[in-house]
């Protein structure tokens, strides 16, 4: 298993290939599928938005079994996303979580706009309100997206003893990040 620095370098290198249209497309064939039937050892957990324009496996040029991806609108830390992440931390030992916000996020835009979006969406958007409140008055949506990724990274530790203990024991690093839609570049925040 790689350490967190090695994982982050691998993610950055994969993103550079993606940005430059030089995907290697490795680990996506029958042989790889067969090799994964006995288990998984992803090197990174990505908490990403469900937005169809943001595909972590492509953005980081990763193959099957390399990323443990949890997708939910607004990349929020709700009970289900936290539980999924806890599984990868506790049972797989994955050393890095990337909380990946993105440019022009619809969930953040809806949260900033406010109003009644129905019970379920209102519940989801409530997880973004702390980032709105922590941002400057009238902040641009993309600034709130960045703030949301940063605050979600902290919230994962605050709401999970499993995640917090792994961080405190030096076994896990949590990194907020921002995906630029125009060129696919991921900025580690």
pLDDT by residue (tens digit) across 42-56? 999 999 999 999 999
Pairing relationship of beta strands 173-179 and 186-188 according to DSSP bridges: antiparallel
The total number of structural domains in the chain stands at: 1
The answer as to whether 10 is a domain residue is: yes
The answer as to whether 15 is a domain residue is: yes
The pLDDT-based confidence of 117 (bands split at 50, 70, 90) is very high
Cα 40 from Cα 92, distance rounded (Å): 8
The answer as to whether 25 is a domain residue is: no
What φ, ψ does residue 155 adopt, rounded to 5°? -65, -35
Determine whether 169 is exposed, middle or buried from the number of CB atoms within 10 Å of its CB (0-12, 13-18, 19+): exposed
Report the pLDDT value the prediction gives residue 25, as an integer from 0 to 100: 85
The answer as to whether 46 is a domain residue is: yes
The answer as to whether 49 is a domain residue is: yes
Closest CA to 144 of 182, 176, 181: 176
Cα 162 from Cα 170, distance rounded (Å): 13
Report the pLDDT value the prediction gives residue 1, as an integer from 0 to 100: 80
The answer as to whether 36 is a domain residue is: no
The answer as to whether 77 is a domain residue is: yes
Cα 71 from Cα 36, distance rounded (Å): 21
Report the pLDDT value the prediction gives residue 18, as an integer from 0 to 100: 98
Q: Kindly tell me if the per-residue pLDDT of 3 is higher than 90.
A: yes
Domain with 138 in it: 4-20+42-188
Closest CA to 185 of 67, 100, 69, 99: 100
Report the pLDDT value the prediction gives residue 174, as an integer from 0 to 100: 98
Q: Kindly tell me if the per-residue pLDDT of 166 is higher than 90.
A: yes
pTM value? 0.96
Percent of the chain with pLDDT over 70: 100
List C-alpha distances in Å: 184 to 61, 102, 119, 172. 11, 10, 33, 26
Residues in the chain: 189
Q: Residue 114 is encoded by which pair of tokens?
A: 């406010």
Task: Output the domain CATH number for residue 149.
Answer: 3.40.1050.10
The answer as to whether 35 is a domain residue is: no
Report whether 34 contacts 57 (CB < 8 A): no
């Amino acid at each position: 298993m790689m350490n967190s620095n090695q994982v982050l370098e691998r993610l950055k290198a994969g993103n550079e290939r993606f940005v430059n249209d030089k995907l290697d497309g490795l680990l996506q064939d029958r042989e790889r599928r067969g090799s994964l039937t006995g288990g998984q050892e992803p090197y990174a957990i990505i908490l990403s938005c469900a937005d169809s324009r943001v595909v972590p496996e492509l953005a980081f040029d990763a193959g099957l079994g390399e990323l443990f991806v949890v997708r939910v609108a607004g990349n929020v830390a709700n009970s289900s996303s936290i539980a999924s992440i806890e599984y990868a931390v506790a049972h797989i030992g994955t050393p890095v979580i990337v909380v990946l916000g993105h440019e022009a996020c619809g969930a953040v835009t809806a949260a900033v706009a406010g109003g009644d979006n129905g019970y379920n969406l209102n519940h989801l958007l409530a997880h973004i309100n702390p980032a709105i409140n922590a941002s400057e008055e009238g902040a641009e949506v993309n600034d709130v997206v960045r703030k949301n990724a940063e605050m979600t990274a902290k919230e994962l530790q605050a709401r999970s003893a499993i995640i917090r203990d792994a961080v405190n024991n030096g076994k896990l690093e949590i990194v907020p990040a921002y995906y630029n839609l125009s060129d696919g570049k991921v900025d580690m925040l």
